[in-house]
Chains A and B, each alone.
Chain A
């Protein structure tokens, strides 16, 4: 671990805390009835987008899922414009017209969260195609879950990316459940990374609760893609501490003991303990990071709450490019 510089280690911690505190706060706001629609939070899974996106430049691109807040924050999204989008305000990333599942900012290299499971896979493949055709060394990263790995789009996308040798990294956030269906019920294989063999690309299974493991393996995969070595399938075994959506207790399909076991492996708490134990940081520094994020979050909420709603006529804007 000490091969990684302090600034990077701090940044990894900071990103995970930003994701965690954002997700916790929006859960509260949602339960208070202040946010329309529904939310899918990624609490517990923070290490995955954090470890992956730490290797990405601003002009690399990611595609994400319905549970995409963490991915989007890790790629550099601002909390205030995300919050405004969740409130449905005009100042949100999508002018209030996309909502939680469609947060996007192409300028930040975010091809969007996506409400259709697996749909981001062919899209990220196409973005990687453009990079290869233009001979840049940009990389596309595609996030999807264990459920998404069963879609036709997964097969078609990985097959196309492999045969065309495209600069895309496929990151499976295997949180063991596709909505309420456990992995052992929705696929026969245990490790999704074995599917890489079907496309003759490298596949790696990683402990997705260990941000440094994710960082290490993702680093290799991103470097491989950047150097023209083609796609990799990286499976990160992780867990969401809450239900499928905010309001789903998850108890219909998960035993509390299992949730407890995974909570003991909280990626942020375990990383903090390591940083402290190795003398990389102090408790005061970690607290300062948290407090700064809390302030950023409260400012984001104020921004969202005081921002205007879109006008009714905005419903008819942006359907077509003029």
Chain B
């Protein structure tokens, strides 16, 4: 199968959906000639023209609000927020308008928009450009939240998100854009709300999101020769969460670690831990561990940044703690 980058996979998804449905259009900062600050929309202006690939002013509230207003009369906009950190400026529109309009109007409104954005640390982009804020959106009823980790998932989920009549927060990771992975030619969609077992295993369940899926898989490969068989589950969609895949895995392995790049406190891992503790407590042989970013703004210095966000070493330490493995080599 061909290997393409996460960035290219997203671009293909946008191109295909725009070819298929002329109510799909793009709006965001610098997405036209510049192709987007992470180059996801490169080439789309040339193909679809300035009516459908619209550069906006620096106006996150208007970007989201206008996308909502257009969707309420039948369009399917894909708005880009350059950094998830900037979603703070648009939070009224996202939380109080987009998420709630269907419910408040008794089911008649269709907020058929996708908000694409990216987050994550690892390039010294520092505190205001490196966050993982998915928990904010998962908390709000009415928003679907997707966080793809691979090119294959990114393409299939973005196509599905665009066709979904619900508002979808589509959270990419800045360090995943160049990452290559197998993506079939031809049309496919991945349903929202469906997790993926990225690596089957029998000793412990590691639920990981976004870039942390790759770190969890690396940890699993490191531990395999030690006889520790790690099952890595990627929820892919955070809301609606595929609870059953996670619970089935925990029933099998009896151990759970959740790995996520957001600040540990009240992150998505807290929700997953509560779910499992509530519904599978009899299956757990050990407490649940969260491996997440420290509760601090992301520092600029690369060593400090690496210290703060979860890395393979911390994931391995978490897995061993949960399995009750003390190993003097890992002191």
Contacts and interface: CB of A to CB of B under 8 A. Distances in A.
Question: Is chain B found bound to chain A in the same assembly?
Answer: yes
Interface of A: 61, 63, 92-98, 102, 104-107, 111-112, 114-116, 119, 121-131, 133, 140, 152-153, 156-157, 159-160, 163-164, 317-321
A137 to B, nearest CB: 14
Contacts, number: 144
Given A126-B69, A319-B142, A94 B62 contact: no
B102 A106 contact: no
B59 interface: yes
Contact of B66 (A96, A105, A107, A160): A160
A318 B72 CA distance: 15
Given A116-B97, A130-B73, A133-B25, A318 B106 contact: yes
Interface in B24-83: 25, 51-52, 54, 56-57, 59-62, 64-75, 77
Given A156-B60, A160-B59, 12 more contacts: A93-B105, A94-B104, A106-B72, A119-B65, A122-B66, A122-B68, A130-B73, A133-B25, A156-B62, A157-B65, A159-B62, A319-B103
A129 B69 contact: yes
B56 A160 contact: yes
A156 to B, nearest CB: 4
A112 B166 contact: no
Given A122-B61, A153-B62, A105 B108 contact: yes
Contacts of B66: 122-123, 125-126, 129, 157, 160
Given A122-B61, A319-B142, A94 B73 contact: no
Given A119-B96, A160-B57, A92 B69 contact: no
B101 interface: yes
Interface string B126-146: 000000000000000110100
Q: Which size class do B's interface residues fall under?
A: 35 or more
A92 B105 contact: no
B92 interface: yes
Interface of B: 25, 51-52, 54, 56-57, 59-62, 64-75, 77, 89, 92-93, 96-97, 101-110, 112, 141-142, 144, 164-166
B65 A153 contact: yes
B105 A126 contact: no
B96 A112 contact: no
A318 B166 CA distance: 11
A130 B109 contact: no
Contact of A123 (B60, B72, B75, B142): B72
A121 B72 CA distance: 14
A225 B241 CA distance: 45
A122 B64 contact: yes
Nearest to A152: B61
A112 B105 contact: yes
Contacts of B74: 130
A126 B92 contact: no
Given A125-B65, A130-B70, A153-B61, A98 B104 contact: yes
Contacts of B60: 156
